[in-house]
Amino acid sequence: MPDENEPSNKDIILVPKPSSSAFTIDAVNDALSPSKSGENDGHLNIPDHQQEKLSDTEKNILAMADEHITNIRDYASLRKKEIHEDINAQAIPSQADDFYTVRNAPELDINKYKDECEQELVNLKAEEQEALRDLRLFRAQHKLQRSAHYPSSMINHLAFILLFLLGESIANMYFFAAGSELGFLGGFFQATLVSLANVAFSYVIGMYALTHFHHVNYLKKTVAALAFTCFSVSIFGFHLLVGHYRDLLIKDATTAANKVWEKFLSNPFGLETMESALVLMIGTVIAIIALVKGYHHDDVYPGYGKLDKNHKVKEEKYIKKSNEMKSALHNIYKKHITSIDLKVADYENRIKKMKNDLIKTEEEISSLESLKKNINPVVKASISAYRNANNKIRTEKAPPYFNDNAPDVAKNLIVDANYFQKQQIQKAISDSENTMKNIYANAKKCTQILTDQSRNVSTIIDEIIQNTDKTAKRIVAQAIASAKTSQPDNRHKHKNKDTENV
């Protein structure tokens, strides 16, 4: 581990990696020029032949070497500290992870989810039960034994009507264009007004009058029959009137509107042209089609479709929420099984990082050892260049220390595997790998437990739904009882109101 006397992060974080070119013969020559300094000192017989200490130039060479060594040592200390801190952070604890928390988390999450959604599910079920109760009451009161039938798409249903409206307008456009100052444009405008009145009136009669032929109330049936009879006479008379208007439009467009009633009342069926007869036929056919589409606007029994759709909407909301609940419960187990996989993957990644740190350590050792090996040769070559140049120039005898070897300045620079504690790093990796064997076994066991538990989700769901149904039925029963208690004398009136409500 890092020594206590090593520089702190704050001090060494900015230490750059020493360059191989920072201390070379060329770098020393550029900075100190040993040969030239030796010639200059030799000309003055410096150093004195009795001097035992190194000359200034030699001291500067050693100082330059010491600075380079200090940089290497600081950088090595920094890298050692960083690598071991990362190893300690990535090392997997010796006590294997048994995933106990993960294994017990689903039950807590399920209970929490049940508390959050069960009341909403109860409310939706109660609404569905109330809608079903209203639907069954309606069926009983109106003697209905069949299911409700109505258009699956109201947009498509109304689009069909608009298509016929447009078709009648285009067909009649030709017949009205002859007497219009605007030609086909004026004819289309008049035809559209006629078609709109025809289709709208027929559709409304089909939707409100024709459907009441099925009603259990004879008064409503009678009113519906009278309304339909009036409609039939009115719509046929309307198209006869339009046909007469078309006859007059061809003769004189300016007086057609004033004379149409006189002509119609004097001879209702006396259409003068085939085109006018076609106007009557097309309008009648479109009226019948609009009448039928209005009849099937909803279920043919008044009010039945509305109640059935209301029940289906409530039922679909309840089913949707139930399905959401099923999916959520399965996802709870899936989430925790996935968390095991992620945790194992994290442990594996940590071991990979530790092995990568070991590789980086070996690279640093090799790089720094190479820098160390180069220091003494550069010092020796630089000092030798100084002394040789000095000896050639000086007139006095050279000092005795010139015969000594250059000092070994790198002997105390230790940047080997022992310094970086490589063996300790290898042991941390080995211990983590051994721990991973137990983690793999525990992860497999825990995953199997959660998988087995997830198969019981259906049982949990059935239990929730049963409790929901019971609670919802109790709520509906309490609401009915409360209504009976608050209005005991109005039950028969309420029944009659339900019967004639639609």
Please name the residue that has the structure tokens 């099923």. Answer: 326
Query: Please, are residues 258 and 210 in contact by the beta-carbon 8 Å criterion?
Result: no
**C-alpha gyration radius of the chain:** 51
Query: Please, are residues 198 and 283 in contact by the beta-carbon 8 Å criterion?
Result: yes
The Cα 426–Cα 447 span in angstroms is 31
pLDDT value of residue 3: 47
Name the burial class of residue 493, with classes exposed (0-12), middle (13-18) and buried (19+) by CB atoms within 10 angstroms of its CB: exposed
pLDDT band at 268 (very low <50, low <70, confident <90, very high): low
DSSP string, 419-468: TTTHHHHHHHHHHHHHHHHHHHHHHHHHHHHHHHHHTTHHHHHHHHHHHH
Q: Which of 1, 37, 22 is nearest to 387 (CA)?
A: 37
Q: Which residue has the higher pLDDT, 399 or 284?
A: 399
Query: Please, are residues 128 and 311 in contact by the beta-carbon 8 Å criterion?
Result: yes
Q: How many CB atoms lie within 10 A of CB 16?
A: 10
The Cα 99–Cα 438 span in angstroms is 11
Q: What is the mean pLDDT of residues 11-31?
A: 81
Q: Which residue has the higher pLDDT, 470 or 420?
A: 420
Query: What type of residue is 458?
Result: S
The Cα 10–Cα 1 span in angstroms is 18
Query: What type of residue is 179?
Result: G
Q: Which of 159, 184, 345, 190 is nearest to 256 (CA)?
A: 190
Q: What is the pLDDT of residues 91-126, one digit of tens each?
A: 998 888 888 888 888 888 888 888 888 888 888 888
Q: How many CB atoms lie within 10 A of CB 270?
A: 13
User: 179: part of which helix (H) or strand (E)?
Assistant: none
- CA-to-CA separations, 32 to 242, 387, 395, in angstroms, rounded: 120, 14, 23
Cβ burial 437-455 (10 Å sphere, 16+ → b, else e):
eebeebbeebbeebeebbe
Q: Is the pLDDT of residue 282 over 50?
A: yes
Q: What is the mean pLDDT of residues 438-451?
A: 92
Query: Please, are residues 118 and 464 in contact by the beta-carbon 8 Å criterion?
Result: yes
The Cα 67–Cα 141 span in angstroms is 106
Q: What is the pLDDT of residues 166-213, one digit of tens each?
A: 766 666 665 555 555 444 555 566 667 777 777 888 888 888 888 888
Q: What is the mean pLDDT of residues 335-347?
A: 92
Q: Which residue has the higher pLDDT, 117 or 359?
A: 359
Please give the distance of CA 368 from its chain centroid, rounded to a whole number. Answer: 50
Percentage of the chain exceeding pLDDT 70:
82
Query: What type of residue is 319?
Result: I
In this predicted structure, which of 33-37, 207-211, 346-350 has the lowest mean pLDDT? Answer: 207-211
pLDDT value of residue 1: 41
pLDDT band at 17 (very low <50, low <70, confident <90, very high): confident
Query: Please, are residues 426 and 87 in contact by the beta-carbon 8 Å criterion?
Result: no
DSSP tally for the chain: helices H, then strands E: 14, 0
The Cα 377–Cα 370 span in angstroms is 12
Q: Which residues contact 135 (CB under 8 A, 6 or more apart)?
A: 307, 308, 310, 311
Q: What is the mean pLDDT of residues 32-60?
A: 92
Query: What type of residue is 91?
Result: A
Query: What type of residue is 152?
Result: S
pLDDT value of residue 496: 44
Average pLDDT across the chain, whole number: 82
Cβ burial 399-435 (10 Å sphere, 16+ → b, else e):
beebeeebeebbeebebeeebbbbeebeebbeebeeb
